[in-house]
Amino acid sequence: MPIHISSQRWVLETRQTAYAFGLNSVGLVTHHYWRARLPRLDDYPIPPDPSGFASTDGFHHFVPEEYPAEAGTKYIDPCLKVRFADGVRDAVLTFVDSSVTDSSTPELSIRLKDVYYPLQVTLHYRVHADYDLIERWVTLENLGTEPIHVERAFSAKWTLPPGDDYFLTHMYGRHLDEFNLQREPLTPGLKTIESRRIIPSHCAVPWFAIDRSANEDSGEVWFGTLAWSGNFRINAEVTEFASTRVSLGWNDWDFGWTLQPGRPLDTPPALAGYTKGGFGGASRQVHAYVRERVLPHGGTPHKVLYNSWEATLFDVDEASQSALAEIAAQMGVELFVMDDGWFHGRKWDNAGLGDWWPDEGKFPHGLGGLIQKVNDLGMDFGLWVEPEMVNPDSDLYRAHPDWVIHFPTRARTESRNQLILNMAREDVQEYVLGVLDKLLTENNIAFIKWDMNRAASEPGWPDAPGDPRELWMRYVWGIYRVWGELRQRHPNVIWQSCASGGGRADLGILRLADQVWVSDNTEATSRLRIQEGYSHFLPAITMEAWVTDWNEGFVPLEFRFHVSMCGSLGVGGNLLNWNDADRALATECIRQYKEIRPIVQLGEQYRLLSPQMGPFSAVQYVSQDKAEGVLFVFRVHVPEKYNIPHLYLRGLDPEALYSVEGFDEPRSGLAWMEAGLKVELKNLQSKILKITRI
Ligand code: GLA
């Protein structure tokens, strides 16, 4: 049992790590340890007591409270801020009791209550011992009769071992340029990473990693993420007294929640872990957890798909799609996905969203003919939808102009000619559920790409039942509800989460979506960098990657394939323009991918050389049993005289003998890892080398 309780101290142990906290002498639930697991329970430090502070600072600057509420002389960044009905705005929480549920994933609950007001706060801890991860969230309950106004409710605060010499790694970006890594020193004060756009967005990622001197392969890293698909905030704080803490949860920008009696509020789960295995170790812990515990079909590798977007844009019909499907099938593609443009009134991006039935002009007999054709070619059929959106030029909007997010006195700002349906409303949810359910029931659809192509503006909800700012949360729950219901009704459908590329990639959506469209940027050399950033928190099985025609005059087709083969392979070029040699190469790459697919999608990933750091990059995947591996090596454009640095393989069984494609002599796993190997590449050349245990 990984949860230990003694005299109001709690130690959560995973395979390699421990997280400990307890009541100190003044009754505060205080954090005191998060690092390697220790041999004896008595080895863990005891909860720190307040001492030695001046009148200018509250003792919370020294004593790290597990879940501080705004109150008294706490000037640190709080997790909770409330306003009671009489206007009092601080919450004095005291410990009530704790309980444990014993199961394969044990859970600890700590109950706190305000000393005067009827506010109950329950801290939840779920221990994922096999993954060295701890999951936290909070339930707020109003035990009284009058509403309590919540102004901030984070999911967790993670406290680092004492010190102010840490570095924060996070990701930032923009459309077509997602998942850029940034590592920077944390200095006294607050550093905020956030989204205010209703989706996590391209600009920030709900993920962090903290280290002192870690590298890819070794060193201590504390890392975490929030399983939430909307506005979020990560606050990393260094106090004046050298204490470093990271809080995360719903963004409290434009936040408001009316906590009604009898209606508990659960915050989204925050997941965090600790490793001595560097950034690579941190990634692999989350990858395994996502594959095995989060994804709906995590153990099943994805099919090779073709997507028609970049080939035909909105100009889809049975003839154009059939022509592409025939070539795709010959190349070995297993799933044919028709993208945007197929539904009622959709000729360009200015009309049709909301009217999710086949366009009468393009598909006079419905989708059945095309689907049959695709199935006869031996492929599954998939379809693009953007269910949360509506074009003003649509039957749906003409019938329900009040269904969109808006302020009645303000112009409704369109973005890509579209407005956002208020998914917080039940009638909107029912419409979307009904129309998608019909589509899936009437057609043999195996895959849905669920897109979302704009951020929120004028975030009004005129008939909101409570605080209109609840929109930010209720919108996301509305999506979870509709998507979850569709999953239940159509359990075999595979779903992709897309938001103009990687704008909605998080552990919340991955309970519903099986994979993510990582970026609209499909140019292979930029994609290397985007994919590497993404891999810091999500596994290759979730990373859909197409081979397209971007930069085709410059970047060889084989290179483009190899880049996409690092994730879940797809093809998105205009196959009609591919000559016989291109098609033959594509057929061979797809054949090869099917061979290595279980290693890439279900194996462990090791980043050997970062494309964010230089022109050479390498990434390796190793099967769980270490019997097989595959090494991808890339060189973008640099002056000829430079050559690729030496590569040291990772993750092999040190004692076993391995052969590596292209090298005559087998060597021990340890030799490949310690002595390494050299791969010669010319500009814009790439190689895939199979690694086999003998
Ligand atoms: C978004 C997606 C693209 C494509 C288009 C269709 O931009 O990210 O992949 O589906 O929409 O309109």
Of 391, 451, 527, 550, the residue with max ligand 1 atoms within 8 A of its CB, to mutate for a pocket test, comes to: 451
CATH code (residue 81): 2.70.98.60
**Active site (catalytic) residues:** 451, 520
How far is CA 261 from each of CA 102, 153, 464, 516, 523, rounded to the nearest angstrom? 29, 17, 18, 38, 53
How many angstroms is it from 128 CA to the middle of ligand 1? Answer: 36
3-state secondary structure of 36: strand
Query: Which residues pair with residue 108 across a beta bridge?
Result: 100, 125
Does some domain include residue 320? no
309 lines ligand 1 (CB under 6 A): yes
What is the distance between the alpha carbons of residues 365 and 381, in angstroms, rounded to a whole number?
17
Contact 249, 154 (CB under 8 A): yes
Give me the long-range contacts of 48-57 (CB less than 8 A, separation at least 24).
Answer: 48/24, 49/24, 49/25, 50/24, 50/26, 57/240, 57/241
Q: From 308, 339, 347, 383, give the residue whose CB has the most ligand 1 atoms within 8 Å, as the site to mutate.
A: 339
Neighbours of 317 (CB within 10 A): 17
Ligand 1 atom having least distance to the Cα of 501: 8
CA distance 375 to 445: 10
User: Containing domain of residue 204, as a range?
Assistant: 3-294
Q: What is the 3-state secondary structure (H, E, C) of 151-209?
A: EEEEEEEEECCCCCCCEEEEEEEECCEEEEEEEEECCCEEEEEECCCCCCCCCECCEEE
Atom of ligand 1 nearest to the CA of 500: 8
* C-beta of residue 104 within 8 angstroms of C-beta of residue 3: no
CB within 8 A of 643, min separation 6: which ones? 680, 681
Question: At 642, which CATH number?
Answer: 2.60.40.1180
**What are residue 64's DSSP bridge partners?**
none
Q: How far is CA 126 from CA 135, 271, 272, in A?
A: 5, 9, 11
The helix (H) or strand (E) run that includes residue 405 is: none
Q: Which residues pair with 97 in a beta bridge?
A: 111
* Smallest CA separation from ligand 1 atom 12, residue: 340
Interval 613-642: pLDDT, tens = 889 999 999 999 999 999 999 999 888 777
Extract the residue ranges of the chain whose pLDDT is less than 50: none
Could you tell me the distance, in angstroms and rounded to a whole number, from the CA of residue 526 to the centre of ligand 1?
Answer: 18
Q: How far apart are CA 450 and CA 483, in angstroms?
A: 9
498 Cβ below 6 A of ligand 1? yes
Q: Is the CB of 548 under 6 A from ligand 1?
A: no
Write out the two tokens for 500: 């103009």
Task: Identify the domain boundary among 294, 328, 345.
Answer: 294
Q: Is the dihedral of CA 517, 518, 520, 523 positive or negative?
A: negative
> CA-CA distance, 246 to 34, in Å (whole number)?
13
Those residues whose C-beta lies under 8 Å from the C-beta of residue 175, and which sit 6 or more positions away, are: 202, 500, 501, 503, 520
Distance 500 CA to ligand 1 centre (A): 6
546 CB near ligand 1 (under 6 Å): no
Strand 494-497 versus strand 515-517 pairing type? parallel
Ligand 1 center to 389 CA (angstroms) = 13
525 in a domain, yes or no? no
Q: Is the CB of 450 under 6 A from ligand 1?
A: no
Q: How far apart are CA 103 and CA 405, in angstroms?
A: 42
Structure tokens at 468: 């209109």
Does 167 reside within a domain? yes
For atom 9 of ligand 1, which residue has the closest CA? Answer: 520
- DSSP code at position 294: I
Nearest CA to ligand 1 atom 1: 500
Q: How far, rounded to the nearest angstrom, does the alpha carbon of residue 302 sit from its chain's CA centroid?
A: 18
pLDDT recorded at residue 52? 63
Evaluate: CB of 33 within 6 angstroms of ligand 1.
no
According to DSSP H, which parts of 575-684 are helical? 580-602, 669-674
Last residue within a domain, chosen from 265, 294, 323: 294
Q: Of 294, 322, 346, which residue sits at a domain end? A: 294
**Closest among 435, 366, 355 to 395, alpha carbons compared:** 355
State the greatest distance between any 2 C-alpha atoms of the chain, in Å, as a whole number: 80
pLDDT, tens digit (0-9, with 9 covering 90-100), for 283-314: 999 999 999 999 999 889 999 999 999 999 99
Using only C-alpha atoms, the chain has a radius of gyration, in whole angstroms, of 26
Give residue 1's pLDDT: 64
Distance 496 CA to ligand 1 centre (A): 12
**Residue bearing the CA closest to ligand 1, atom 8:** 500
| Nearest CA residue ID for atom 6, ligand 1 | 340
Report which protein residue has its CA nearest ligand 1's atom 4: 309
Inter-residue contact 393 to 422 (CB < 8 Å): no
Measure 204 CA to ligand 1 centroid, in angstroms.
Answer: 20
Cα 314 to ligand 1 centroid, rounded to whole Å: 10
Nearest-angstrom CA–CA distance, 497 and 127 = 28
* 159 CA → ligand 1 middle, Å: 40
Distance from Cα 343 to the centre of ligand 1, integer Å: 14
Chain centroid offset of residue 76 CA: 29
Closest C-alpha to ligand 1, atom 11: 500
- 370 part of a folded domain: no
- For residue 64, tell me if it sits in a domain: yes
CB distance 532 to ligand 1 below 6 Å: no
- Name 606's bridge partners: 620
Residue 257 has phi, psi (to 5 degrees) of -140, 130
The answer for residues whose C-beta is within 8 angstroms of residue 259's C-beta and 6 or more apart is 82, 119, 140, 141, 142, 147, 148, 149, 150, 265
- Atom number of ligand 1 nearest to Cα 498: 8
Is there a domain that residue 153 lies in?
yes
Ligand 1 pocket, 65 CB below 6 A?
A: no
Domain total for the chain? 2
Cα 200 to the center of its chain, rounded Å: 9
Q: Is residue 346 part of a domain?
A: no
Cα distances (Å, whole numbers) of residue 341 to 308, 336, 396: 10, 15, 17
Q: What local confidence, expressed as pLDDT, does residue 61 receive? A: 78
Q: Which two tokens stand for residue 537?
A: 């928190």
Q: Is residue 448 part of a domain?
A: no
> Phi and psi dihedrals of 661, rounded to 5?
-50, 135
617 Cβ below 6 A of ligand 1: no
